[in-house]
């Protein structure tokens, strides 16, 4: 694989980042994951805008312009011949060559790393045809989940807890209400209504969430943005999650309770279809 590090395209075995990099020592870094379908980028603009916001919220410098970023994404997709897959991007605050809680001086160069992941069958995934089983776990993450930082240890542990319980993923619950999935936004459907938590600092402002809610509205579906409990979701007709890497993923079981007939629901399936159709049509 050819990867990108601070202005250079290199074989992955030759790419280097300092051991003092604050991304490595303090998780002082933000990231984005952009899907590739038909060799083209899905919603690059949305990811670029959110990256800028994450950087601003953490007083971190932009590593390069949006146009340069687009160029790097495209070049990596081309060099690695990605038809379906992902482009991972990470910007960290870099380092001035030592470990210190205090941020390094303003002129310290951020570290910009990008790599691709080849995922044939990303859009036509058997997992989406089957639907996901989720368990609920306590949300003990920090209070700025709207910033897409690389502090992913707890979400990672959540996935492991799900696997140990024979499920696919975990939904996080705080003060009795579902926040989101380990790496996706969460929704349930009852009597034709789509319910999802409103945007705040408690959840990531999903790029896919924004597109899917717009498409649902355009399709005259009813949406309610409000807090909801895991017990409500367990009584749902259907449920689903959204993320840039899994699009719309039907959920068929929550904490052992089967939803509907235990297969992906019609609204989740329809939203997945119309999301993918538009994403492909608008890809760049």
Structure-block tokens of residue 172 = 């996080």
Which one, 96 or 278, has the nearer CB to ligand PLP? Answer: 278
Site for ligand PLP (CB under 6 A): how many residues?
Answer: 13
Is residue 242 a contact residue for ligand PLP (CB under 6 A)?
Answer: yes
133 a catalytic residue:
no
Strands 185-190 and 238-243, sheet pairing: antiparallel
| Number of other CB atoms surrounding residue 61 within 10 Å | 14
Site string for ligand PLP, 190-209 (x = CB under 6 A): --------------x-xxxx
| Number of other CB atoms surrounding residue 113 within 10 Å | 20
| Number of other CB atoms surrounding residue 154 within 10 Å | 17
Query: Applying CB under 6 A, which of residues 55, 244, 248, 252 lies at the interface with ligand PLP?
Result: 244
Q: How far apart are CA 273 and CA 279, in angstroms?
A: 10
Which one, 33 or 274, has the nearer CB to ligand PLP? Answer: 33
Query: Applying CB under 6 A, which of residues 134, 184, 230, 271 lies at the interface with ligand PLP?
Result: 184
Which one, 95 or 113, has the nearer CB to ligand PLP? Answer: 113
User: Considering the complex, what minimum distance in angstroms separates the CB of residue 183 from ligand PLP?
Assistant: 4
Q: What is the largest CA-CA distance in the chain?
A: 58
User: Considering the complex, what minimum distance in angstroms separates the CB of residue 218 from ligand PLP?
Assistant: 18
Which one, 78 or 142, has the nearer CB to ligand PLP? Answer: 142
Query: Applying CB under 6 A, which of residues 54, 185, 188, 252 lies at the interface with ligand PLP?
Result: 185
User: What does residue 70 show for φ and ψ, rounded to 5 degrees?
Assistant: -60, -45
Q: How far apart are CA 79 and CA 105, in angstroms?
A: 35
Residue of 133, 148, 159, 269 marked active site: 148
| Number of other CB atoms surrounding residue 232 within 10 Å | 15
Is residue 169 a contact residue for ligand PLP (CB under 6 A)?
Answer: no
Site string for ligand PLP, 6-35 (x = CB under 6 A): ---------------------------x--
Structure-block tokens of residue 189 = 């459907």
Distances (CA, A) of 164 to 12, 133, 154, 158, 160: 32, 12, 15, 10, 6
Strands 247-254 and 238-243, sheet pairing: antiparallel
Which one, 21 or 180, has the nearer CB to ligand PLP? Answer: 180
**Which residues bind to ligand PLP, rule: CB under 6 A?**
33, 180, 183-185, 204, 206-209, 242-244
> Which residue numbers are catalytic?
148
């Amino acid at each position: 694989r050819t990867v990108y590090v601070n202005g250079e395209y290199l074989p992955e075995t030759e790419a280097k980042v300092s051991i003092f990099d604050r991304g490595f020592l303090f998780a002082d870094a933000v990231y984005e994951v952009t899907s590739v379908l038909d060799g083209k980028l899905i919603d690059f603009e949305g990811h670029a805008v959110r990256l800028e916001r994450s950087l601003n919220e953490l007083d971190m410098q932009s590593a390069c312009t949006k146009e340069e970023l687009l160029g790097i994404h495209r070049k990596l997709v081309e060099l690695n011949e990605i038809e379906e897959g992902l482009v991972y991007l990470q910007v960290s605050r870099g380092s001035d060559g030592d470990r210190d809680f205090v941020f390094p001086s303003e002129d310290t160069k951020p570290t910009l790393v990008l790599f691709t992941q080849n995922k044939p069958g990303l859009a036509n995934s058997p997992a989406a045809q089957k639907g996901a089983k989720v368990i609920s776990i306590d949300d003990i993450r920090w209070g700025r989940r709207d910033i897409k930082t690389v502090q992913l240890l707890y979400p990672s542990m959540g996935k492991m807890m799900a696997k140990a319980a024979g499920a696919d993923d975990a939904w996080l619950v705080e003060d009795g209400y579902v926040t989101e999935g380990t790496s996706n936004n969460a929704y349930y459907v009852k009597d034709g209504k789509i319910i999802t938590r409103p945007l705040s600092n408690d959840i990531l402002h999903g790029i896919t969430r924004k597109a899917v809610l717009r498409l649902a509205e355009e399709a005259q579906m009813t949406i309610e943005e409000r807090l909801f409990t895991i017990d409500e979701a367990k009584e749902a007709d259907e449920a689903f999650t959204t993320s840039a890497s899994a699009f719309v993923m039907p959920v068929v079981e929550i904490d052992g309770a089967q939803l509907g007939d235990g297969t992906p629901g019609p609204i989740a399936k329809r939203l997945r279809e119309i999301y993918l159709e538009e994403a492909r049509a608008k890809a760049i």
